[in-house]
């Protein structure tokens, strides 16, 4: 696990955009899994800026998103499809047919889950998956539970999630109580994971996820099972981490420029 803690959010977003940019250069077979919410807004702004300058291109990319509310039409401005279009997709060169997100308006949500699983199977494991974390530790809409199924599924949102997300809904009481989410197994299937968390409201979930027991009761903790997890935190989100993890993050920062300069073990041969 590579944890990086930032005092400056624009540097955090720049590093996140570097990681996405690296995945975009991975060729036509590589995919990017993206997420919605306030957390990735700065990253998407940076990706749009880099695209406008011609530094990156989505022309060969495939993008798949984590989740969608059930019961909204695909063009509902409150939906995650609309969010992705507004914040990123309308501003970059991704061919529209290569954007995949569960369809919350499908007549049979269970069938839609199987369709989305088939999409993920088709994409395969060469995928960078970007995720945020909820204040209750959820990832995508995988809410805390006794156990978490592997694949895409219909979920009932927790009261806390409904309350938090209603603030972004217009009108707030229209927020659906159910959603379709990529399963935690499919999230872990990606060959690289990027977790971003910002703000003190995330500090407890982040500390639990990165330093507490690995448990479905805190879905973010399951991300630690992944061999290639990068975590980008602002200082507030990192504030409750145990000192040893903060020290690891500081050490990694000290070493990283040397690795980037080519002084790592592999380049010495
Ligand atoms: P947020 O949501 O980015 O709006 O904080 C993240 C999440 O709930 O997963």
Cα–Cα distance, 70 to 102 (Å, whole number): 9
The protein residue with its alpha carbon nearest to ligand 1, atom 1, reads 37
> Is 104 near ligand 1, meaning CB less than 6 Å away?
no
List 143, 189, 226, 234, catalytic entry: 143
Residue 255 pLDDT: 67
Cα–Cα distance, 211 to 218 (Å, whole number): 11
Q: pLDDT digit string (tens) for 85-131?
A: 999 999 999 999 999 999 999 999 999 999 999 999 999 999 999 99
> Active-site residue 143, yes or no?
yes
Report the alpha-carbon angle 20-78-34, nearest 5. Answer: 15
Q: pLDDT digit string (tens) for 189-203?
A: 999 999 999 999 999
The protein residue with its alpha carbon nearest to ligand 1, atom 4, reads 37
Omega prior to 171 cis, within 30 of 0 = yes
Residue 268 has pLDDT above 60, yes or no: no
Residue 253 pLDDT: 72
Give the model's confidence band at 259: pLDDT under 50 very low, under 70 low, under 90 confident, else very high.
Answer: very low
Residue 249 has pLDDT above 90, yes or no: no
The whole-model pTM stands at 0.93
CA-CA distances (angstroms) from residue 70 to 15, 157, 175?
Answer: 33, 11, 10
**Other CB atoms within 10 Å distance of the CB of residue 156:** 12
Residue 267 pLDDT: 35
Share of the chain above pLDDT 70, in %: 94
């Amino acid at each position: 696990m590579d944890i990086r803690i930032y005092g400056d959010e624009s540097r955090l977003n720049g590093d996140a955009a570097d990681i996405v940019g690296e995945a975009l250069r991975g060729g036509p077979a590589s995919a990017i899994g993206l997420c919605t919410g306030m957390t990735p807004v700065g990253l998407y702004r940076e990706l749009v800026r880099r695209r406008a300058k011609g530094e990156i291109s989505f022309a060969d990319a495939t993008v798949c998103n984590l989740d969608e509310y059930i019961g909204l039409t695909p063009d509902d401005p409150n939906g995650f499809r609309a969010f992705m279009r507004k914040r990123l997709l309308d501003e970059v060169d991704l061919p529209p047919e290569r954007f995949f997100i569960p369809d919350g308006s499908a007549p049979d949500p269970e069938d839609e889950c199987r369709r989305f699983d088939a999409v993920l199977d088709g994409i395969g494991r060469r995928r960078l998956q970007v995720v945020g974390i909820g204040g209750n530790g959820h990832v995508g809409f995988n809410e805390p539970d006794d156990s978490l199924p592997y694949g895409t599924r219909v979920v009932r949102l927790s009261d806390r999630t409904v309350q938090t997300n209603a603030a972004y809904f217009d009108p707030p009481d229209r927020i659906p109580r159910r959603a379709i989410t990529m399963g935690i197994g499919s999230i872990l299937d990606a060959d690289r994971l990027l977790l971003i968390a910002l703000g003190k409201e995330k500090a407890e979930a982040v500390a639990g996820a990165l330093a507490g027991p690995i448990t479905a009761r805190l879905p973010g903790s399951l991300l630690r099972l992944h061999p290639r997890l990068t975590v980008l935190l602002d200082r507030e989100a990192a504030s409750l981490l145990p000192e040893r993890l903060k020290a690891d993050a500081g050490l990694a920062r000290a070493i990283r420029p040397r690795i980037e300069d080519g002084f790592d073990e592999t380049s010495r041969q």
